[in-house]
Chains A and B, each alone.
Chain A
Amino acid sequence: MTVDHTLEARRLTVGYRDRAVLHELDLVVPPGRITAIVGANACGKSTLLRSMSRLLAPRGGQVLLDGKAVHAMPAKQLARTLGLLPQSPIAPEGITVADLVGRGRHPHQGMLTRWRAEDDAAVAEALEATGSVELADRNVDELSGGQRQRVWIAMALAQQTELLLLDEPTTFLDVSHQVEVLDLLTDLNRSRGTTVVMVLHDLNLAARYADHLVALADGRVHAAGAPAEVLDAALVEAVFGLRSTVITDPVSGSPLMLPIGRHHAG
């Protein structure tokens, strides 16, 4: 039922002032799959995600959505195809969950159009998909960290985009809520075919949940592919500068990285 949208970066160069963060980076996002971007701190993970969702303008190269440069597309049209959950969204004081999720309908509404039944339906569906129907009338201020993140994801779902970009969606969450959020994103991907691209700092969770792993180092793609194919001790050494052993995760069969460090023999 979904049209598979293609998203790719071509020779993308992005920088702040005189420092280039991404150097002529090439990346193709596989449609209908889950892509995780990993890498050491300051390797340009977030910058890449922010450029792809056009929060940052490239200095060179371009980001193409279905072959068209995202930086030249009308803002609302882009927002109907590509959703974004930034790292620290702000919940206005006193806003209810249903209304926050309703903000996801913004790109589907004109300046003067009224709220329509399909908007209610989209909000309800998003609340249901994230298991937050019973939170609908609560104030966002009162929610726990895990609930809050679910609500933000619900807002991005109400946007009904076929591509969803998330910048570290599991930060500040404890391990059970991290798994809950990643399970939820997997559900979306499987049931709706949503293409998910996320920056993750936990390499093992990325390896478990992603179909496609992109490892960045020094503003370039160091390796990209199925986690089982690209994740090994050499990659961890090159990308994170860390000695490690990579074994097979007994739970999922995906690669599992165990760091070595100075106090334990490999």
Chain B
Amino acid sequence: MSADSLIRSSAVDAVARGRRRRANRRRAIVVVLLALIAAAFLVSLVVGRTVYPLDQVLAVVLGQDVPGASFTVGRLRLPRATLAIVAGAAFGMSGAAFQTMLRNPLASPDIIGITWGSGAAASFAIVTLGLGGASVSTIAVVAGLAVALVIYLLSRTGGLVGLRLVLIGIGVAAMLRAATLYVLSKAPQWEEQEAMRWLAGSLNGASWSSAAPAILALVVLGPLLLVLARDLDVLRLGDDTASGLGVRVERTRLLVLVVAVGLLAFATAATGPIAFVAFLAGPIAARLVGTDRPLIVPAALIGALLVIVADFVGQYLLGTRFPVGVVTGVLGAPYLLFLIIRSNRAGGSL
């Protein structure tokens, strides 16, 4: 009896130790990512065509009036860097949610066309209809949900999960990209800046008024997605197992879908479809922290870091100024190829 309980308590200790070790590692990585984001944020406020000293930048951030810096830092760089972090986090979370929900790294919303749905609708609303602000965000959200619904219905017969959905999504994405191009080419006030924003994603022209809906969406929908993360995570064990563990499979999937599309669409309305951030953030996060626990938080941090660093690189380190989506696109395309080659080897069905 006593020997028995000795063995038992040592097993409990071993389990608790292993779990704590993994949790600590995860926490450490989250802290490092936060520090990196903070550093990148600060650098993108300080460094630019003109470099402002740190104390002036901090004064502007705290709301004081500094001649010169107040405009450049306060009106240009601060909203831009904030939007980079907010949009990156939204893309990252939403991408990881989709990939987890559909159990497929290829099933991120930028690959399967949902981002393009929001982007095409937002570009149409802005460029053709001349709308702005909240109505653009609303249109982007509705279009994103509509595209998600269409893909869901088209791929339903083959089971929601799997290659069929991805292939249909890629087709839908190509159509919506073409629609975006058409809208832009028909626009009377064709502008290269605007066109780049809706084709590759860009933070040019970011202002507080354009960033506000995305910030609000992240504040409201982000925590909701975190609450859903645990159920979402159990879904990875398969629908049957998840159901046996007390998860309402269909309801969870629907809620996650709506929240993730919402996050994505608000961010897309502000920045355009920044290429591959939603697609890359989840797998990078998984590589770093392991897939034991929900990836939503680490994926959000990776997304934010990707966008703010890529925007800085695109603006200052490449000679010519590139929109942020071009830089993330260069990072994402090889990974997409790698995944397609790998799934081709494994399944031979793509």
Seen from chain A, the residues whose Cβ lies within 8 Å of a Cβ on chain B are: 50, 53-55, 75-80, 83-96, 98-100, 102-104, 106-107, 109, 111-112, 115, 117, 120-121, 123-125, 127-128, 133, 136-137, 156, 159, 165
Query: Considering the chains assembled together, what is the distance between the CA atoms of A121 and B18 in angstroms?
Result: 13
Residues of A contacting B350 with CB < 8 Å?
A: none
Query: Considering the chains assembled together, what is the distance between the CA atoms of A156 and B227 in angstroms?
Result: 24
The verdict on B243 contacting chain A, using a C-beta distance below 8 Å, is: yes
Asked if A86 and B7 make an inter-chain contact with CB atoms under 8 angstroms apart, the answer reads no
User: Assuming A111-B227, A159-B245, is B292 touching A127 (CB within 8 A)?
Assistant: no
Seen from chain B, the residues whose Cβ lies within 8 Å of a Cβ on chain A are: 7-8, 11-12, 14-16, 18-19, 22, 103, 227, 230-231, 233-234, 236-238, 240-241, 243-248, 286, 290-293
Asked if B286 and A94 make an inter-chain contact with CB atoms under 8 angstroms apart, the answer reads yes
Asked if A124 and B227 make an inter-chain contact with CB atoms under 8 angstroms apart, the answer reads no
What is the predominant secondary structure among interface residues of chain B facing chain A? Answer: helix
Asked if A124 and B291 make an inter-chain contact with CB atoms under 8 angstroms apart, the answer reads no
Asked if B18 and A96 make an inter-chain contact with CB atoms under 8 angstroms apart, the answer reads yes
Query: Considering the chains assembled together, what is the distance between the CA atoms of A109 and B231 in angstroms?
Result: 11
Asked if A124 and B237 make an inter-chain contact with CB atoms under 8 angstroms apart, the answer reads no
B16, B227, B248, B291: the one within 8 Å of A120 (CB): B16
User: Assuming A75-B247, A103-B234, A136-B15, is B241 touching A125 (CB within 8 A)?
Assistant: no
Residues of A contacting B14 with CB < 8 Å?
A: 124, 133, 136
Asked if A133 and B11 make an inter-chain contact with CB atoms under 8 angstroms apart, the answer reads yes
Residues of A contacting B233 with CB < 8 Å?
A: 103
Asked if A54 and B11 make an inter-chain contact with CB atoms under 8 angstroms apart, the answer reads no
CB-based A-B contact count at 8 angstroms:
111
Q: Which 7 A-B pairs have the closest CB atoms?
A: A79-B246, A84-B244, A86-B240, A76-B246, A107-B246, A124-B11, A90-B238
Closest B residue to A93 by beta carbon equals B291
Asked if A106 and B245 make an inter-chain contact with CB atoms under 8 angstroms apart, the answer reads yes
Pull 6 A–B residue pairs with CB atoms less than 8 Å apart, ordered by A: A85-B244, A91-B237, A121-B12, A127-B11, A128-B7, A136-B14
Closest B residue to A96 by beta carbon equals B292
Asked if B103 and A90 make an inter-chain contact with CB atoms under 8 angstroms apart, the answer reads yes
Asked if B15 and A84 make an inter-chain contact with CB atoms under 8 angstroms apart, the answer reads no
List 5 extra interface pairs beyond A99-B22, A133-B11, CB under 8 A.
Answer: A75-B243, A76-B246, A89-B238, A125-B8, A127-B11
Asked if A86 and B238 make an inter-chain contact with CB atoms under 8 angstroms apart, the answer reads yes
Asked if A55 and B15 make an inter-chain contact with CB atoms under 8 angstroms apart, the answer reads no
Query: Considering the chains assembled together, what is the distance between the CA atoms of A106 and B252 in angstroms?
Result: 14
Select the residue from B19, B231, B236, B290 with max chain A CB neighbours within 10 A: B19
Residues of A contacting B291 with CB < 8 Å?
A: 92-95
Residues of A contacting B11 with CB < 8 Å?
A: 124-125, 127-128, 133
Residues of B contacting A136 with CB < 8 Å?
A: 14-15, 18
User: Assuming A98-B15, A99-B292, A124-B15, is B230 touching A109 (CB within 8 A)?
Assistant: yes
Select the residue from A111, A120, A136, A156 with max chain B CB neighbours within 10 A: A120
User: Assuming A96-B18, A124-B8, is B246 touching A78 (CB within 8 A)?
Assistant: yes
Closest A residue to B12 by beta carbon equals A124
A92, A128, A156: the one within 8 Å of B236 (CB): A92
User: Assuming A96-B292, A103-B245, A112-B227, is B15 touching A120 (CB within 8 A)?
Assistant: yes
Query: Considering the chains assembled together, what is the distance between the CA atoms of A80 and B246 in angstroms?
Result: 8
Query: Considering the chains assembled together, what is the distance between the CA atoms of A5 and B56 in angstroms?
Result: 71
Asked if B247 and A106 make an inter-chain contact with CB atoms under 8 angstroms apart, the answer reads yes
Query: Considering the chains assembled together, what is the distance between the CA atoms of A159 and B233 in angstroms?
Result: 16
Asked if A120 and B19 make an inter-chain contact with CB atoms under 8 angstroms apart, the answer reads yes
Closest A residue to B244 by beta carbon equals A84
